[in-house]
Structure formats: C-alpha cells, structure tokens
Amino acid sequence: MTALPTRKLEAWRYTDLRALSAISFTAPASPPTPLSLPDLAIPRLVFLNGIFAPHLSSELSFLQPFTPVAEHSAQPLTQINAEHAQAGMTLLIPPGVDAGSVLLVSQASGGSMAFHPRHRITLGAGARLTLIEVAQGDGVYWHNPVMDITLADDAALAHYRLQDESREAFHLATIRADLAKTASYESFTALLGGQISRAEFHVRLQGTGGHAHINAALLLGGSQLGDITSVITHAAKGCTSRQTVKSVLSGAARGVFQGRIEVDRIAQKTDGYQMTQALLLSDTAEMDIKPELQIFADDVKCSHGATIGALDAEQLFYLRSRGIAPDDARAMLIRAFLTEALESVTSEPALAMFETEFAQFQAAR
C-alpha cells in the first residue's frame, strides 16, 4: 500500500496520521448489522462497511454500476483509494434533468477495517441534484472515501455532508469537483465525529461564471481532530468562490483549516472570499489556520479573514440578565456563531438534520 502522508508534507503539517499508521487494518468481511438509518424522507443509497447494501437502498434510475478505478494520483490518500476501491456510488444525471434529493449513507462497525469507496457524480448540462451524505459508525475503522464530481454547463449540485463517525474512527475524505461554464457547487460539511477527520476539497472552476460555495462547521470535543482543507482553482473568467468555516472546539480538541485560492492568469474578474472563525470553549482547545491566496491575474477581488476567540462575556451576561440559564445562553450563542456557515444549506431536510445534530452536540457538551 502507498504510504500515508506525514507531517513533512506541507498539506499535512497540522494533521498527524501516526495514530492511523499504528493500526493494521483489514478489508471488511461481512457487512455489519445496520444502525438505525437517518430519518429523511428522500431516496437513499446505503453502504455498510463500504459495501453497497441494495436491500436497504432505494431504486434509482440514475444509479450506474461501479467500475474499477484506474488512476495514479500524487495525493497519497487518493492513491490509496485508487488501489483499494471496490465499491462506490456512481450517479449520472442526464442534461436538463432535476434529479431531486438523494441520501448517501455510510455505516461502519469496528474490527480495525478500512474501506475506500469511490463515488462519482456527473451532472449533464443544466442538470440539478441535492446530495445529502451521512457517515456514521461504531468502533475503530478507517473510512477513506473519494468523491469525483463533474458538473457540465449550468449544472447545479448542492452537497451536504454530515461526518458523524465513531469517536474512534478515522475519516479522511477527498472531494474533487470540476465545474464547467456557470455551473454551481454549493456545499456544507459538518465534522462532528471521528478521532481524526479531514475533508479535503479540490474544486476547479474551469468555465466562465462558475460558482463554488464550500462551507463547513467543526464541532469537536475531547481529543478529536478535525481538518478542512481546500484548494479552489479559478481557471476561467468571472467565477466566484465563497468559503465560511466555523469551528467550535471544547476539551483538548483541535481544528485545522487550510484554504488555498489559486487564480490563474486568465481568470480575470475572479471574486474569491474566505472566512474562518473559531470559538474555543476551553483553554486546551486549539485551532490552526493557514489561508493562502495565489493570484496570477491582475483584475481580481480576493480576500480572506480569520478570527479565534472565546464566548463573549458581555453577550452571556446580557442573556443571563434576561433570565436565560448559562447553558442555554451558551447554546444560543454557539448556534448563532454557526449561522453564516449554514447559509449554503438550502435543503429543508438537510437543515433539519444539521440542527438536530448541533442540538445534540450542545446537550452532550
């Protein structure tokens, strides 16, 4: 197997995978008994320990059979995925079709096994899809999915990801999206579970007027580590990209945000914006932030910002002076802090799902 990346690689400076290297993983054997499935009234596709479970899944006319991966990638995790991928969701939405919403569920249960699904989504010109992804499980395992997204002219994908894996699990996801002219990719990722988790985005805006919105929220405690890494490449004129990443960290949790915006020489009138904010609820929580702008065009609007802080004592006192108990006051302020990151979530069932998860995080804190 290709070696795991180490902290000597710039892209892995803040996320140390030695805890993952120390475990010898096996391929999953028989699929586990499923946990309770997310209660969303939309068609779903279920994978158990990385293996497709047709008996738990809806019939979808857009679902294509899995085909083996032939790829040599310079990215270690993508390469490992390519070497081991045995299953995955392949969705092909024909031009002009609005495919509605699809729920992709990954469930796993322990036994030190690793699975490397390769998902592929292709939207034809003007096609639309809302994909809601939920990853959950029990025990120690390594979930290493790669999702390849291709959006033709005017296609629009809304992509909402809930990483709610076992607290002992490793979740290292790579999402690669190529956007043609005026295509739109709206995404929101919530990292809640996992011992170590990362969502790494590579988004290429290849046609004029494309739009990418890559938002995320990290809600972590204990000794969890969550990492959002993104590379957004503006390779055509007049594209916009937006990123809002909010982290709420308690205990000795660590959050990482590495965001790079690359603007090619021809990508004039680029409009790129990136904001990351962290709320540290303890003295031992830590946030590492690395924004990078790499601009080769001369007529662009690109900016980034970062803040790290604690809950505001004045705001807390204001709420308490109105009779609101300290825990409820803190919950209100934390929920308010996450608001801007949730702006990219326009699907009602997805929003309801995230609200429920956030409330559970608050209750467990």
Give the per-residue contact string, 253-292, with another protein (x = CB under 8 A; - = no).
----------------------------------------
Three-class DSSP category at 344: helix
Closer to another protein by CB, 296 or 318: give it.
318
CB atoms closer than 10 angstroms to residue 317: 11
Listed in sequence order, the residues at least 6 apart from 73 whose beta carbon sits closer than 8 Å to its beta carbon are 79, 82
Q: Which residue has the tokens 């699904």?
A: 117
Residue 345 CB, nearest distance to another protein (Å)? Answer: 15
Closer to another protein by CB, 19 or 325: give it.
325
Give residues 172-211 in contact with another protein (rule: CB under 8 A): none
Contact 198, 169 (CB under 8 A): no
Residue 213 CB, nearest distance to another protein (Å)? Answer: 18
- Whole-number Å distance between alpha carbons of 203 and 176: 6
Listed in sequence order, the residues at least 6 apart from 252 whose beta carbon sits closer than 8 Å to its beta carbon are 222, 223, 282, 284, 285, 286
Closer to another protein by CB, 283 or 314: give it.
314
Closer to another protein by CB, 292 or 312: give it.
312
Of 109, 172, 102, nearest in space to 141 by CA: 109
Q: Which two tokens stand for residue 163?
A: 């990483």
Closer to another protein by CB, 9 or 336: give it.
336
Residue 63 CB, nearest distance to another protein (Å)? Answer: 39
Give residues 50-89 in contact with another protein (rule: CB under 8 A): none
- Helix (H) or strand (E) holding 164, with range, is strand 156-164
Closer to another protein by CB, 222 or 326: give it.
326
Contact 143, 171 (CB under 8 A): yes
Closer to another protein by CB, 211 or 246: give it.
246
Residue 317 CB, nearest distance to another protein (Å)? Answer: 5
- Whole-number Å distance between alpha carbons of 139 and 137: 7
Residue 58 CB, nearest distance to another protein (Å)? Answer: 34
Give residues 327-356 in contact with another protein (rule: CB under 8 A): 328, 332-333, 335-340
Residue 228 CB, nearest distance to another protein (Å)? Answer: 20
Three-class DSSP category at 235: coil
Residue 281 CB, nearest distance to another protein (Å)? Answer: 17
Q: Which residues pair with 286 in a beta bridge?
A: 254
Question: In whole angstroms, how large is the CA radius of gyration of the chain?
Answer: 20
* Cα 351 from chain centre: 15
Count of residues binding another protein (CB under 8 A)? 23
| Burial category of 10 from C-beta neighbours within 10 Å (exposed 0-12, middle 13-18, buried 19 and up) | exposed
Residue 321 CB, nearest distance to another protein (Å)? Answer: 5
Residue 209 CB, nearest distance to another protein (Å)? Answer: 31
363 binds another protein (CB under 8 A): no
Query: What is the maximum alpha-carbon separation in the chain?
Result: 62
Give residues 292-331 in contact with another protein (rule: CB under 8 A): 312-315, 317-326, 328
Closer to another protein by CB, 80 or 190: give it.
190
Closer to another protein by CB, 113 or 248: give it.
248
Question: Residues interacting with another protein, by CB under 8 A?
Answer: 312-315, 317-326, 328, 332-333, 335-340
